[in-house]
Amino acid sequence: MLERKRGKILRNEKGFSIPELMVVLLVASIILVLALPQMISSRRLMKFASIQRQFASSLTEARQEAMSQRRTVTFRYDNSLKKITIHGGSFGGFGDAKNKSFDLTGSGISANEIIYGRPSGAPTSALGDTTNLTALVANVISITFQPDGSVINASNNPENKAFFFYNSNYANDTAFAVSVLGAGGRVKVWRYNYTSNQYVE
């Protein structure tokens, strides 16, 4: 009786057979192969979303600095370098060591993935706040915030600006815009909705 019980316990402790282990490993491998591209794509989308946050927060910072310092502060975007620079006021003239700068590349996103403009098929009409794509001049756009936070042109009239971007590999999923209303310097963020084919705040 004792021998029979011991034999039963030993049989129960044998575990999985080699064919069973092979089936489990095969199923796990298939799941991994199917899920991996989706995981990589999701990570890249999240990293590109950080560019949107950085762009909007840098514009907001430049405006706030102009208002707090009571001096003009300039936000400069260089499309060839994919770089933001904040200068003027306590940040010194452009190129000064005190300038604040941010590279949009890195963290797995290369410069050729960051495209300035709108993806093919996206509407070219103005955003909901009436701003539209600001053209690059010598691959650069500069916005100078006044001490009251506004943005004005050479004739001292309020001037609106809007930046549009998308990832060359995932155009419709990553397209966004950041607008600046000249009258008050308000910064707004817009995401492209592919289903409705419009930029929404």
CATH number at residue 23: 3.55.40.10
Q: What are phi and psi of 162, to 5 degrees?
A: -150, 135
Q: Which residues neighbour 92 within 8 Å (Cβ) at sequence distance 6 or greater?
A: 98, 99
- Looking at the 3D structure of the chain, how many domains does it have? 1
Range of the structural domain that residue 145 is part of: 2-200
pTM of this prediction exceeds 0.75: yes
d(CA 163, CA 55): 9
- Once rounded to an integer, what is the mean pLDDT over residues 21-45? 70
**How many Cβ atoms are within 10 Å of 40's Cβ, its own excluded?**
11
Tokens of residue 96, six digits: 């000064």
d(CA 60, CA 163): 14
* pLDDT band for position 23 (cuts 50, 70, 90): confident
